Amino acid sequence: MTQHRAYRMSVAKVHAALVAKAERKGRTRAEVDQIIGWLTGYDHEGLAAQLANNTDYETFFAQAPALNPARADIRGAVCGVRVEEIAEPVMREIRYLDKLIDELAKGKAMDKILNRQPAKV
């Protein structure tokens, strides 16, 4: 199976784009980093090390200290694809992050973003 090119993308470059997106909407780098920490378990130093090492996305998620189990409750579409329907694990992690940053950029409060509620069935 061919590896998706997004897996080889540098987290540092993606991080810069995520921060720029958030800042254009009046949000901060600290909020982006808080979301990343919530999702992956990276603390400030751990995230800084991954960014400095130009770690790729696949490695970034594989080395994540503590993927948040509540991330499975993230629902919605990113680029027309429902995140809860993505079967490939690394791509699903990438889209979880994208979805959370989209919510931040749309003005959603941090407590609403980080306090996920299980989906109603």
pLDDT in tens, 61-71: 999 999 999 99
Residue 7, judged by CB atoms within 10 A of its CB (0-12, 13-18, 19+), counts as middle
In the chain, the domains with their CATH numbers are 5-113 (1.10.8.290)
Question: Using one digit for the tens of pLDDT, what is the confidence trace for 71-103?
Answer: 999 999 888 889 999 999 999 999 999 999 999
Local structure of 66: helix, strand or coil: coil
Burial of 72 (0-12, 13-18, 19+ CB in 10 A): middle
Q: What is the predicted pLDDT for the residue at 117?
A: 55
